[in-house]
Amino acid sequence: MTSPLFRTKKVEQSIRDTEEPEHALKKSLSALDLTVFGVGVIIGTGIFVLTGTVAKDNAGPATALAFVVAGVVCALAALCYAEFASTVPVAGSAYTFSYASLGELPAWIIGWDLVLEFALGTAVVAVGWSGYIQSLMDNAGWEMPAALGSREGSDVFGFDILAAVLVLVLTGILVLGMKLSARVTSIVVAIKVTVVLVVIIAGAFFVTADNYDPFIPDSKPVPAGESLDSPLIQLMFGWAPANFGVMGIFTAASVVFFAFIGFDIVATAAEETKNPQRDMPRGILGSLFICTALYVLVSIVVTGMQHYSELSVDAPLADAFKATGHPWFAGFISFGAAVGLTTVCMILLLGQTRVFFAMSRDGLLPRFFSRVHPRFKTPHRPTILLGVVIAILAGFTPLNELAALVNIGTLFAFVIVAISVIILRRTRPDLHRSFRTPWVPVLPIVSVGASLWLMLNLPAETWVRFGIWMAIGIVVYFLYSRTHSRMAQPEGAEPGAPPGPSGGPDSR
């Protein structure tokens, strides 16, 4: 008999659950909407800051190649996501996929992981947005009171009012409907991409060919560390990565990878897509391709405008324009970053509410949160709850040290999805797959290996915090979710009733 901890939920059952009127989301998104969502969440401050920082510290002009390497790693995961999202067009992303293949406990673990990832991601981005807005206000001669400003590096007790207000406004937009969210995102993404393209085109006129020499600087070894701040792979094997040279490209790739975080959130909107079998692969892969191209072009421009050794760490692209005698672009770039972070914040919040909603509909979280708004057909209850919690979190907490948890959570989800593709191919070969990940199981295995490699390059301290959060999740599962799961109920019973036989059918 199958252990109840690993009882799987049939794909057909997951799809039937989306048809229940009081738990059904409105289908309104197209392939273009999904692509815009993907571009909107991927392009954030990374394109304005991370490109130059990595060029100076890790790879020099070869940062462009590091973006290509990171893009390939993401593409491996994206192909796995595309198969699942088109085959199982249900809200929840990696949570839903693992429920159909690995079982309930693994699904709970990944869902719990995604809740943390998206919550912290939203709060961190909101705080970053607040910082850019305050910078623009300072340029205009307006100064926020210390008690209402950003908490980053502040010793004064206060509340970051701008970060909190942003989260609450975006919460309201998400409650009002996905189509409205898509329209707002489209407008903001159009502005953001325009800013990026202007920077690329304008910067190209200030490129000096000598700055690309050498394109791949000579390798410089990095001393191995011994504290929890050091990458886990250093503490385990005493191995330290190199900066610059060929290995420096891969070191840089492990850093710039995090500029791609977000494309997986497109999969959380599968249930709200008009034609998910056709449009989900287009949205996921299309947004990833566009962002990779923009990242490569920006890195080529910034390393051509100023020698990589002279780039600043805080605002390399803006300062590169200052170095060429065009300081006006610094404010323009700050404006683009502030606008861009608006959509990043909204789509991260969107992803979290959909995972929370899917877990609630399955009974692993209170079913109260799985009812949709009678008019807007959105999961308004979890959206409002999470929006308020994250607004408070963003207002009171700098979150600078917790931000790395977003990265490890994303990579963990990549590993689970890749494994799930292999398992579901073996257990349900009969399922119609409008998009099939090529070269299974080789490609998913390579995806798992690449994701694990990047996880090992994260600080050991991040692993400790991640382990603590996962341990809390296991306790919650055994105290509540295991017995309230719809899969644990006898036919026709509601969650909370006495559990039926292990591995029993899902209740209706």
Q: Binning pLDDT at 50, 70 and 90, where does residue 502 land? A: very low
Do the Cβ atoms of 271 and 25 come closer than 8 Å? yes
d(CA 71, CA 295): 10
Peptide bond between residue 441 and the one before it cis (omega within 30 degrees of 0):
yes
**Residue 2: what pLDDT?**
59
- The count of C-alpha atoms lying within 13 angstroms of the C-alpha of 295, restricted to the half-sphere facing its C-beta, is 34
For 362, phi and psi rounded to 5 degrees?
Answer: -85, -5
pLDDT of residue 385: 95
Least confident of 135-149, 172-186, 397-411: 397-411
Task: Pull the structure tokens for residue 44.
Answer: 């954030």
Task: Give the residue numbers spanning the domain of 374.
Answer: 29-479
* Length in residues, the chain: 508
Provide the token pair at 177: 């409907």
User: Considering only CA atoms, which of 253, 343, 248 is closest in space to residue 296?
Assistant: 253
Section 146-160 average pLDDT: 64
Considering only residues 135 and 244, tell me which one the structure prediction assigns the higher pLDDT.
244
Distance of CA 17 to the CA centre of its chain: 26
Residues 491-495: what's their mean pLDDT?
51
Beta bridge partners of 168: none
**Per-residue confidence band for 440, with pLDDT thresholds at 50, 70 and 90:** very high
Dihedral sign (CA 472, 476, 479, 482): negative
Decide if 321 contacts 330 (C-beta within 8 A). yes
pLDDT-derived band of residue 503, with 50, 70 and 90 as boundaries? very low
pLDDT of 402 strictly over 90: no
- pLDDT confidence of residue 228: 77
Residues 358/92, Cβ–Cβ less than 8 Å: yes
In a domain, 5, yes or no: no
pLDDT of residue 224: 65
Do the domain assignments include residue 229? yes
Asked if 164 and 122 count as a contact pair (C-beta separation under 8 A), the reply is: no
**What span, in angstroms and rounded, lies between the C-alpha atoms of 255 and 51?**
10
Is there a domain that residue 3 lies in?
no
Measured distance CA(319)–CA(223) in Å, rounded? 30
Instruction: Establish if 21 belongs to a structural domain.
Output: no
Look at residue 308 and tell me if it is in a domain. Answer: yes
Could you identify the residue written with the tokens 């794909």? 11
Mean pLDDT calculated for residue range 467-495 = 85
Output the pTM of the full model.
Answer: 0.83
| β-pair partners for 242 | 221
pLDDT band, very low/low/confident/very high, at 199 (cuts 50, 70, 90)? confident
pLDDT score at 238: 75
Cα–Cα dist 143/150, whole Å: 12
| Total domains, the chain | 1
3: exposed, middle or buried (Cβ count in 10 Å: 0-12, 13-18, 19+): exposed
Range among 238-252, 439-453, 457-471 with highest mean pLDDT value: 439-453
Lowest-confidence region among 67-71, 145-149, 466-470: 145-149
pLDDT confidence tier of residue 22, bands split at 50, 70 and 90: confident
The closest alpha carbon to 454, from 210, 291, 252, 280, belongs to 252
Render pLDDT for 290-323 as a digit per residue (tens, 0 to 9). Answer: 999 999 999 999 999 999 999 876 678 778 888 8
Report the pLDDT value the prediction gives residue 118, as an integer from 0 to 100.
85
Cβ(270)–Cβ(251) below 8 Å: no
Instruction: List the CATH number of the domain containing 256.
Output: 1.20.1740.10
Mean pLDDT over residues 34-61, rounded?
Answer: 84
Name the more confident of 243 and 145: 243
pLDDT of amino acid 287: 93
Q: Indicate whether 75 pLDDT > 80.
A: yes
Q: Please tell me the least confidently modeled range out of 320-324, 372-376, 464-468.
A: 320-324
List of residues 6+ apart from 181 with CB closer than 8 A: 173, 174, 346, 350
The predicted model gives 128-157 an average pLDDT of 70
Q: Are 461 and 225 in contact (CB under 8 A)?
A: no
Three-state secondary structure call for residue 429 = coil
Phi, psi for residue 101 in degrees, rounded to 5: -125, -45
Q: What is the largest CA-CA distance in the chain?
A: 74
Highest mean pLDDT among 148-152, 178-182, 315-319, 420-424: 420-424
Is 385 inside any structural domain? yes
Q: Are 445 and 420 in contact (CB under 8 A)?
A: no
The answer to whether the peptide bond before residue 214 is cis (omega within 30 degrees of 0) is yes
**Pairwise CA distance, residues 42 & 448, whole Å:** 21
Answer yes or no: is 345 within a domain.
yes
Does residue 131 form part of some domain?
Answer: yes
Q: Tell me the mean pLDDT in the region 61-75.
A: 92
The angle subtended at Cα 57 by Cα 56 and Cα 59, nearest 5°, is: 80
